[in-house]
Structures are given as C-alpha cells and as structure tokens.
Chains A and B, each alone.
Chain A
Amino acid sequence: MNSDLLFVGLIVGVGTWAMRYLPTRIDVSSIKPGSPVSRFLDATGPAAIAALCVASFLPLIEADVKALAMLAAGLAGTYLGFRLGRDISIASIGGALGYGLAFWLL
C-alpha cells in the first residue's frame, strides 16, 4: 500500500474519530433542560440534516431543462416514497427511481 495514503488515511481517520468521540466526554447531565445550550444541541439534528441537504442538492441545480426535470422527478419520488412508506429507505429508493427514470426517459 502507498505509504503516503497510509499516513493521510490514518491521520484523517484518527482525527475524525476524535471529533466524534471526544465530545462525549462533556458531562451533558449538568445542562438544564430548556437552557440555551440544551436548545442549541436539540436544534443541531434538524440543522445538520438541513445543511447536508443544501450541500447535496445545490450541485444538482443547473440551468438546463433536463437536469431540472430529473431533479423534480427525484424530489417527487422521494416525497411520494416518504408519504407512502413513512420510511427513509423507501423514500431514498423512490427518489433514486424517479431520478433514474427521468434520466432514461429524457
């Protein structure tokens, strides 16, 4: 294996693990429910997912009818999958099917 890759992989891997693990050492039991820190952490979940949504959808928006139609089909497939199945896996597969179908048809 390439030694440069081994070095970078290990540094990034250990760093990422530390970023995920070390914050668990914070004692959250001292945070009062309803306090600003509690509300901030509570809002982190929806905020993180919304930000990741923006990052993953922005590159798909192009000034091109075909690209926009595929995006619309993917969004519709995701929404329909979620409404019908109430499940994120069914919704994701519905979105991919819609997007792939539009790609094939257009």
Chain B
Amino acid sequence: MSTLSSPDSFRSGARASLGVTLGYFPVGIAFGIAAARAGFSPLEAGFLSAVIYAGASQFLVIALMGTGAPLIVTALSIMATNLRHVLYAPAILEKARERAATRHAWGWAGWLSDGAFGAAIIALNRSRAHFSERFMFGVGVGPYFSWLAGTVAGAVFSGAVSGYPVLDAALGFLMPALFLAMLLALVSRRTLGVVAVTILAAVPLTLFVSTTVGIVGGMVAGALSSLVDWKGGNR
C-alpha cells in the first residue's frame, strides 16, 4: 500500500490504531453508563478515564468504591490488575531494536493500553521501520481520547442507550471482537505455539483462580514457552 506519510510518522501511528480508536468509543460509552448507574457524575466518570485509562481497573473502581474496604487496599488491589502492562513497553522496544528511543516515553508509554499495545505490536511485526516516538504518540492519542469521549458520552446519555438492548448487546461484543481481530492479525506459524500455550494456561487460571491471574499467568506461560525448542533441533 503506498502512502504519502512515512511509516514512522505520527499519522502512520494514528492510522495503525484506528481500529482501536473506533472500538474504544462504544466501550467507553459502556463504562460511562456503568459509572452513571453506580451514581458517579459525568465529571467523575471522565476523571477516572482521564487519569487511569485502563478499562478493567475502572470497572473495578466503580464496583469497589463504597464497599467499606480501606481506600489504599482498594487502590493497590485495583492496580494489581494492571501488572501485565509492565511488559508492554519493553516488548515494543525489543521489536524496535536499533530504532528504540525513550526520550519522551513518559508520554507515549502512559497511553499503552491493551488496544494501543496490540496495534503497535501488529505494526512493528510488519516492519520495525514504523517505530519512532512520534509514531507511538500517534498510536496512543486516538484510543485515549476516544475512550475519554465515550466515557463522558455514556455517562451523560446513559438513560437513552439502555433503552436499546440490541445496541447494548452489540456494543458489549466490540471489545472481545477487537482482541480476537488482533489475535488473528498476530497469529502465524511462528507464534502459534505461544498462543496455544497461553490459552491452555489462561483458561484454567481464569476459571479456577481469577481473571487477573488468568491474564498475567497465561501471558507469562505463553511468553516463556517461546524459550522451548519445540523441534528439539538443538538437542
């Protein structure tokens, strides 16, 4: 595909994450509705999306606030759900290799949500020539503001959307569909083993322990499996 902008431009990054930008808006609406139903104002819902910007954690905040648990315990346990994010930036920088730069990482790394990370990895899988800090800002900006705008819209218009259960159901499937689409874009013969091990580990851990342990445990097990020489060629 020919393009007028260079692969490492801000615009190229924004284009790489366009799917996530589109997908985050309705999911942000879903969060805004949930926040409004839990008694939060549009300003409070928007504040959570602006400062946390991590869907699962935000849903946990609205579920746990007011349960009587000490605030610091609540905050730390919610933060634990984001542990997987620790590996996102190193994985991107490893893909970028000699192009890796971190001068402005305090900005773009803060926007590395699950979706933005997936979009960046898909682009860098195609070519590491995509990497630049402005590309990473481009990847991050759309999903962040889409999530924020969706949240506020959902909180303001919560009553209107809940009258359409079909729309509610379709919006609820957008996030799973987005992750599945990312997986389809990343699966190849080279990564099939990693994906299979991740799923085999994540399913029982999610079912029998917790979703957080399932995500982190599955991810680490899958990534560790890449160290195994399945063909036994070196033995």
Contact = CB atoms under 8 A, between A and B. Distances in A.
Is chain B a partner of chain A in the same complex? yes
B177 A74 contact: yes
B156 interface: no
B191 A43 contact: yes
A65 interface: no
Interface size range of chain A in the complex: 35 or more
A62 to B, nearest CB: 13
Interface size range of chain B in the complex: 35 or more
Given A46-B187, A88-B178, A100 B94 contact: no
Contacts of B170: 96-97, 99-100, 103
7 contacts: A7-B71, A29-B98, A42-B91, A43-B222, A45-B118, A54-B198, A60-B173
B6 interface: no
Contacts of A39: 226-227
A74 B176 contact: yes
A51 to B, nearest CB: 4
Given A51-B215, A87-B19, A88-B185, A15 B82 contact: yes
B122 interface: yes
A1 interface: yes
Contacts of A58: 203, 206-207
B23 to A, nearest CB: 5
A93 to B, nearest CB: 7
Interface in A33-86: 33, 36, 38-58, 60, 70, 74-75, 77-79, 81-82
Nearest to A51: B218
Contacts of A41: 87, 90-91, 94, 223
Contacts of B197: 47
B219 interface: yes
A23 B177 contact: no
B51 A10 contact: yes
Contacts of B122: 88
Given A24-B105, A100-B169, 14 more contacts: A5-B48, A8-B78, A11-B79, A16-B85, A19-B82, A25-B102, A41-B87, A44-B88, A44-B219, A46-B195, A47-B222, A48-B84, A48-B117, A99-B173
